[in-house]
Structure 1
């Protein structure tokens, strides 16, 4: 069986210190908004605090996952903790949706019985949320473009900054126009937005965890490319999956039309590796060569 591993892919170094700063900031915001929400009676402020609490949890998960992902592989952990960040992204996306459902339920209850709210507290604490979350968003923006785990943390902070902005607008409307029902409307809007941003990330991380074929790669195109190589008769029993965002793995059985030498196979293996890396960005290739073997020649075979 031939195996090749292309080391040309780059593993972007993620700045754990930025996550740590964001954790401290969001912990402070959460405590302040919970106290302020109770004193003012604002559900939207409490909902923003609850969202901030989910941010703190998600950022801690992301920070731990970031540390684990850097640990070396071992005899008992041959892949190391390379999937830790994908798992963190899945958990964080799921918490966004759970928080959103809780907020929707509370918003409906409050909408039926609106309460008078101390709008000054709402205004000042929402401003605090905008500034602190805005700073955290800037810290994580660059890393979020190349890492699903960091993207999940970034989305938590970005949505919370937008939620704080909405709460600020609501606080101003309550202060100057006594529109206290706007508190429930804003809470509902924040919750629906959380579901919208969380769903795509939940779906993408779930696909990686379930070893689904990456959406950007078509297995039939790979088969056609490999079968263009001389002496290759058939490509079958294919598995294609992402270990994490940097590593895409491919394994297959290749049936040759002649009984080639091992040295000849090595040349073909190198050619296959180049095709898969440059055309499909696949960097781990594992090929089982066959000649005259009676096995299932279907492209996909259930193990």
Structure 2
């Protein structure tokens, strides 16, 4: 029996999206995040004071959101440090998923914060307090400028990392928040319509819900070992089965170690006179070039050498067997070449 376990580590940094965790790229990402963190922290302190003086929920909510921006960037920086550590001991992938934990935490804070702000905004919509529109307007103008600078800084970092994207979404939502607050301030100054402040807060709440849900969904997919969104595992299995001399592909698993870093394992059966090594090399070349999957584990056997692994008694081209002879449970569909392939 020819059984080959092949781990191709050569291209880890070049997973989907060209994500890099090491060296210059990671240091550059950290530098941009630190710049954004400094801008936000300095402005946030002043905004809290002005928000209290002006009696503006929109300003205070922006400041609270900026606090979560700062925390999200700190989380991203810590997660980058952890993810860069080499694999050792029990953590055979290293701590790469620390970045996904950070992204999930950012998403959850956005969702929780949006619920609190939504409640406060509705309460103020029903009975609006006195708001000093001019202070709101001036602070929002400065806030737009600061957030534009912070958004630009984070956009320079590698956003294919869900971790960096989490921090970016926080700051981008904050930029929208300041634009809404700016409009609210202008409305209050020109018309005296105090409810504009609460309406601006509700706009921000909607944006926060959208960004938070996206982050929780995307990080949840990675934790649940789902395939990358841009790859259909069934189509991929059919393509692998269509490669010359392949008789069957089963136990196909495709997941992400972290954002932009996909991994695949599969059991490949080759026709009796096929070259297992050549088939494995061809499959790996296809996975690397067409799908940017560089972390692969392929077990390649000759069809018929081991009756326990010979599943060809099932006729459909792609099917899920009632029982899988070499496993306690079947692991997904079985892929076979079409009638004119080999």
Q: TM-score under structure 1 normalisation? A: 0.91
Contact 2:160 2:260 in 1 (8 A): no
Check if 1:272 corresponds to 2:283. Answer: yes
Contact 1:89 1:202 in 2 (8 A): yes
Measured after TM superposition, the shift of residue 302 of structure 1 is 4.4
1:208 matched to 2:219: no
Q: Which runs of at least 4 in structure 1 moved beyond 4 Å after TM superposition?
A: 295-300
Residues 153-174 of structure 1, C-alpha deviations (whole Å, 9 max, x = no match): 1111111112112111211211
Q: 2:136 aligned with 1:122, yes or no?
A: yes
1:3 aligns with 2:6: yes
| 8 Å Cα contact 1:238-1:299 kept in structure 2 | no
Deviates more, 1:11-20 or 1:129-138: 11-20
Instruction: Give secondary structure in 1 for the equivalent of 2:249.
Output: strand
Partner of 1:18: 32
Q: CA deviation at 1:142?
A: 2.7
1:147 matched to 2:164:
no
Partner of residue 34 from structure 1, selected from 44, 48, 71: 48
Long gaps (5+) in structure 2: 312-318, 322-329, 333-342
Contact 2:33 2:157 in 1 (8 A): no
* 2:244 pairs with 1:238: no
Q: For 1:170 and 1:104, how far apart are their aligned partners in 2?
A: 16
Partner of 2:232: 218
Map 1:80-159 onto structure 2 (within 5 A): 80-159=94-173
Q: Do the aligned partners of 2:280 and 2:300 also contact (CA within 8 Å) in 1?
A: no
- Structure number with the higher helix fraction is 1
Separation in structure 2 between the aligned mates of residue 296 and residue 101 of structure 1, nearest angstrom = 55
Give the superposition deviation at 1:11: 4.2
Distance 2:195 2:236 in 1: 57
Q: Distance in 2 between matches of 1:49 and 1:233?
A: 61
Give the stretch that moved more between structures: 146-155 or 3-12: 3-12
| TM-score normalized with structure 2 length | 0.81
CA contact (8 A) 2:107 2:213 kept: yes
Unaligned runs of 5+ in 1: none
Which moves more between the two structures, 293-302 or 28-37?
Answer: 293-302
Answer yes or no: is the 8 Å Cα contact 1:222–1:276 preserved in 2. Answer: no
How many residue pairs get matched?
300
1:185-196 → structure 2 map (5 Å cutoff):
185-196=199-210
Judge conservation of contact 1:250–1:286 (CA < 8 Å) in 2.
yes
SS in 2 for 1:143: coil
State the distance in 1 between where 2:229 and 2:19 align: 21
Query: In the alignment, does 2:269 pair up with 1:255?
Result: yes
